[in-house]
Chain A
């Protein structure tokens, strides 16, 4: 799965607002995001950076700490699970974002070892091995 981290010099509450408030999102996401932060509630994400609009559903919410949701291209398509995890460091906050193909695959993926870093390293090994024997 994709895993990215960002450390920002703001408190967790500030980061949470930026990630979830539609007015904030309009400023940096670049389009309209509409959602209700309750498990099972629908979500709608305007396309960003040339990406299509997405529909989604909120899966898990721990205000200020964790937000997990599913999303898929509006009108149909394969679903992914996105997770925001916020680690409060006082004056700064560490944000971890992961995106993985949706369950049941998400269940099969070990969040911390099946990262894109590890998988792309493995891919490089497979290619190198094949080249060495060619």
Chain B
């Protein structure tokens, strides 16, 4: 199973970027100017975060006149979600087996 690119996980690893993604998914496409009032960070930092989300394919950046408008790409996280699902299930299976093993063997070692 192919793993999504590191850029997707790197983009999702930052709590500010996750919050931006949450906001854009809830309220629809917005420009950095519209987002800025709710983010106590520099405009430079804000556009850098949005740029990383765009490079990772999680948002689409479209120029609207003089501003760029950012819109969530609905399927952008699909690959990451599928990977997390798959790997999570593997560990569920392994930990069940480990638990059974420990309970069967008892504490006699």
Contacts and interface: CB of A to CB of B under 8 A. Distances in A.
21 contacts: A2-B91, A4-B88, A4-B95, A6-B98, A6-B99, A15-B102, A49-B90, A95-B95, A99-B87, A99-B91, A101-B3, A105-B10, A108-B13, A110-B13, A114-B15, A116-B84, A119-B77, A122-B77, A123-B80, A125-B25, A127-B74
Contacts of A14: 102, 107, 109
A130 to B, nearest CB: 4
Contacts of B105: 27
B51 to A, nearest CB: 15
Contacts of B88: 2, 4, 116
A110 B84 contact: no
Given A4-B88, A27-B101, A105-B6, A119 B80 contact: yes
Given A9-B102, A10-B102, A14-B107, 19 more contacts: A2-B87, A2-B88, A6-B99, A18-B98, A18-B102, A29-B97, A97-B91, A97-B95, A99-B87, A105-B13, A108-B14, A109-B9, A110-B14, A114-B13, A114-B15, A116-B84, A120-B81, A122-B12, A122-B22
Contacts, number: 122
Interface of B: 3, 6, 9-10, 12-15, 18, 21-22, 24-26, 28, 72, 74, 76-78, 80-81, 84-85, 87-88, 90-95, 97-103, 105, 107, 109
